Amino acid sequence: EIVAGIEAMMGDGPLQGRHVVVTSGPTHEPIDPVRYIANRSSGAQGTALARALRDLGARVTFVTGPASVPPPGGVEVVQIETARQMLDAVKTALPADAVICAAAVADWRVANASGSKMKKDGSGKAPALDFAENPDILATISQMKKGRPALVVGFAAETDDVVAHATTKRERKHCDWIVANDVRPATGIMGGTENAVTLISETGAEEWPRLPKDEVARGLAARIAAALGAGG
């Protein structure tokens, strides 16, 4: 792994000299000092993608939430917890040729998170949680007026109508591609080792076969290199 990282940095892969930012993993949104809202992302797909981009010679900034798999070697790792921290880290990492938003970001945070542990008061009523919408990292980067990366890619975890939802999402967020997948528990994809993705671009929807996440990552990295006019 370390050797691969050094080879990539010193080699002449098609992404040599390019900077790619990859977000990965879940975000955690605190409720109080001991509780938080999480999601079932393991970070496996984002990690595999960062590794594949590194192997093609890219300089990779890897912005990761609390993942259950270790980050790859040979990339710059930025550890964050919340969606707001993730957006800050991505902005700080710019400029970049591409930003790949593979993280499963919480759409909402708890607006009234408590500094002390919330307690049951005997009334049987839960303390009211107020939610605030988190910044949309994919849309924010996609709609930058100045210095927008040449390629902005989002991942979409869907449980139904995958292509329709992902196509709408691509248009609404103004990103270049959406990598959509079906995360219904029955698929075993979220937290699993395989992925079945549909790549949504301006030319339409392209369904890939179910593959190990490493192979999905290598396929996407090659497409990213091609899109950046870097061969591959």
What residues are annotated to the active site?
A: 39
Q: Which range in 39-47, 80-88, 95-103, 198-206 contacts a second copy by CB under 8 A? A: 39-47
Q: Does 139 bind a second copy (CB under 8 A)?
A: no
Nearest to 102 by CA among 76, 55, 64: 64
Angstrom distance (rounded) from CA 25 to CA 47: 8
Do the beta carbons of residue 177 and residue 208 sit within 8 Å?
no
Angstrom distance (rounded) from CA 87 to CA 80: 10
Q: Does 188 bind a second copy (CB under 8 A)?
A: no
Residue selected from 185, 188, 229, 231 as contacting a second copy according to rule CB under 8 A: 185
Residues 199-228 that bind a second copy (CB under 8 A): none
Within its chain, how far is the Cα of 167 from the centroid? 18
Residue selected from 1, 17, 117, 206 as contacting a second copy according to rule CB under 8 A: 117
Q: Which range in 57-65, 71-79, 90-98, 116-124 contacts a second copy by CB under 8 A? A: 116-124
Tokens of 199: 């790549």
Of the pair 36, 177, the CB lying nearest a second copy is at 36
Within its chain, how far is the Cα of 54 from the centroid? 16
Q: Does 112 bind a second copy (CB under 8 A)?
A: no
Q: Does 159 bind a second copy (CB under 8 A)?
A: yes
One-character DSSP codes across 138-183: HHHHHT-SSS--SEEEEEEEESSSHHHHHHHHHHHHT-SEEEEEE-
Specify the DSSP element, H or E, that contains 9: helix 2-10
Of the pair 84, 184, the CB lying nearest a second copy is at 184
Q: Does 108 bind a second copy (CB under 8 A)?
A: yes
Q: Does 104 bind a second copy (CB under 8 A)?
A: yes
Q: How far is the CB of 75 from a second copy (least distance, A)?
A: 24
Specify the DSSP element, H or E, that contains 194: strand 194-195
Do the beta carbons of residue 222 and residue 232 sit within 8 Å?
yes
Do the beta carbons of residue 65 and residue 101 sit within 8 Å?
no
Binding mask 47-86 for a second copy (x = CB under 8 A): ----------------------------------------
Q: Does 36 bind a second copy (CB under 8 A)?
A: yes
Q: How far is the CB of 197 from a second copy (least distance, A)?
A: 16
Which residue ranges make up the site for a second copy (CB under 8 A)? 28, 31-41, 104, 106-108, 116-120, 124-126, 129, 131-133, 157-160, 165, 183-185, 190
